[in-house]
Chain A
């Protein structure tokens, strides 16, 4: 059974970089049958997809348009984990952040999300 364990600071200052890590157990970050994603959730904006990374002979990343200029998702295969970095944060970035596994289906690198991290509440304040 796949488990995802998130870690990272709960408080980030405006204009600084939000960094979160998601450690995977029960699967491999390099698997060809899944992708690894980040989401966030806030009362004002609901559930939002931020981006994903997946390996299909090489690494692929793609990001939601609204954060594309500020986001980076990286992997560490030696630690079987992936991480989120979001630069230049503002109070609008305050949310609960989730990592998740996306199951691949024929023709699509990601379909539904069958495992989620526990969530990380991130506050943006000086």
Chain B
């Protein structure tokens, strides 16, 4: 199975930059998508195809993907950015296709 590894938690002060990583073998060859999930709410797409933003998502959210690590970067962090963040890819072989999520990273804004 294909496993996406995220740090369980990241802490950052308001106004600083948060970096959340998603590690997996040759993830740079895949399209990585990122979701924000606030407590009690459904996930919200914040970055797709490694580094594109849906309409309505602030430019402060950006992504990159190379080698074995994809990264979500949030600049000028705000208290409202406090949430869980999940990376996601599709993984398939000759036998099956599967959606894979990382375990999630809790972003705490100090």
Contacts and interface: CB of A to CB of B under 8 A. Distances in A.
Interface in A39-86: 39, 46-49, 62, 64-65
A105 B90 CA distance: 13
Contacts of A47: 43, 86, 101, 104
Interface in A1-54: 37, 39, 46-49
Given A46-B104, A47-B101, A64-B98, A113 B43 contact: yes
A89 B82 CA distance: 34
Interface in B18-65: 31, 33, 35, 41-45, 48-49, 54
Nearest to A118: B42
A65 B31 CA distance: 22
Nearest to A108: B90
A46 B104 CA distance: 8
B54 A114 contact: yes
Given A98-B42, A111-B33, A119-B42, A65 B49 contact: no
Contacts of B41: 119
A123 interface: no
Interface string B90-107: 100000111101011000
Contacts of B35: 113
A111 B86 CA distance: 15
Given A108-B90, A112-B49, A46 B42 contact: no
B71 interface: no
B46 to A, nearest CB: 10
B42 A116 contact: yes
A113 B45 contact: yes
A37 B101 CA distance: 14
Given A112-B45, A112-B49, 7 more contacts: A37-B99, A39-B99, A47-B101, A49-B99, A112-B31, A113-B33, A113-B35
Interface of A: 37, 39, 46-49, 62, 64-65, 98, 103, 105, 108, 110-114, 116-119
The 4 closest A-B pairs by CB, nearest first: A49-B99, A116-B42, A112-B33, A112-B48
6 contacts: A39-B99, A46-B103, A98-B42, A108-B90, A113-B88, A119-B42
